[in-house]
Amino acid sequence: MAKVIARVFGGLGNQLFIYAAAKALAERTGSDLVLDIHSGFRRDDFQRQFALNHFDVGYREANALERFEFPMGRGVRYLFRTVNQYLPPQNRFYLSDLFRQKKKFIEPLISYQPRAWSWMEGYWQSPLYFNDIRKTLIRELRVTSSLSEETVALAERIRGANSVCVHLRMLRHFLKGTEMESERKLGGQHYLKSMDYIAQSVDNPLFVCFSDAPHAVKSQLAAAPFDIIFVTHNKGDERAHEDFYLMSQCRHFVLSNSTFGWWPAWLCQHPDSIVLTPPLNLWDNLNILPSNWITSDSLLSRVKNAI
């Protein structure tokens, strides 16, 4: 059987994109899904860890040979990755989107037939790679790890309200103990304008705010005339799945340009869900936004058209 060997790296949002794209390719072609869950984290400056173990995902773990952990293995990986960018798409055995300056959906991947061994290394941040297995991903990408009592109680409150997930990404991460700001941090107006739009569109919204810097968020939104909850009890990457679970219980979404918040919005099954996102130019992939999501730069024109 052919096998798709996907290298997993990055934060939880990126890990989910990698898994979804690889899963979809394996499903379409009847291939074995293999995940390299080690090599992508060995030199991670932000000390991130494999986090898909908190979900109901199925895969085989890559062995040392499949993850290039042998003498000169890193050089072999680099050689494979470099050579394959010059091969015709259907002749490649090492698939990557890392060479693209501004990433977009690579259409040939949909019709690609894996070789006996085919590697995937990249971000794959577009639902076009895996829309065809949406039902499978909804089933698999549910948090199965244990949750704290505080998270369970808050989830019940969120489900009982017209809840709106507001995800504010303030910092990139902690790099060797130092807070690193995102190079494309959004201003408070994006969130306030989006929250106001939601408040005019749905009855009695409850805004549930998540952030990597919750205290800074409180100072930005404290004066907003809305019913707001600030989620602050899940600290650190090791509890990110609990915030993910809470976000997935919401009905509507106000997003930052973060793949972490993107996923609960995409997985949402409420037919009347409203999703507001930053403009496309603030995302890393030109094809990351579903057509029914609303960008904050289009809100003003929508309001004008409604008058």
**Domain positions in the chain:** 3-135, 148-306
Per-residue confidence (pLDDT) for residue 73, from 0 to 100: 97
Lowest mean pLDDT among 90-104, 175-189, 210-224: 175-189
| CATH hierarchy code of domain 148-306 | 3.40.50.11350
> Could you tell me which of 42, 59, 41, 62 has the C-alpha nearest to residue 50?
41
Spatial distance between the Cα atoms of 257 and 296, rounded to a whole number of angstroms:
11
- Are 42 and 72 spatial neighbours (Cβ–Cβ below 8 Å)? no
- Are 289 and 280 spatial neighbours (Cβ–Cβ below 8 Å)? yes
Per-residue confidence (pLDDT) for residue 301, from 0 to 100: 60
The predicted model scores a pTM of: 0.93
Residue located via tokens 């000390």: 47
Lowest mean pLDDT among 40-44, 135-139, 166-170, 217-221: 217-221
- CA quadruple 20, 26, 27, 32: dihedral positive or negative? negative
Per-residue confidence (pLDDT) for residue 91, from 0 to 100: 95
Per-residue confidence (pLDDT) for residue 131, from 0 to 100: 98
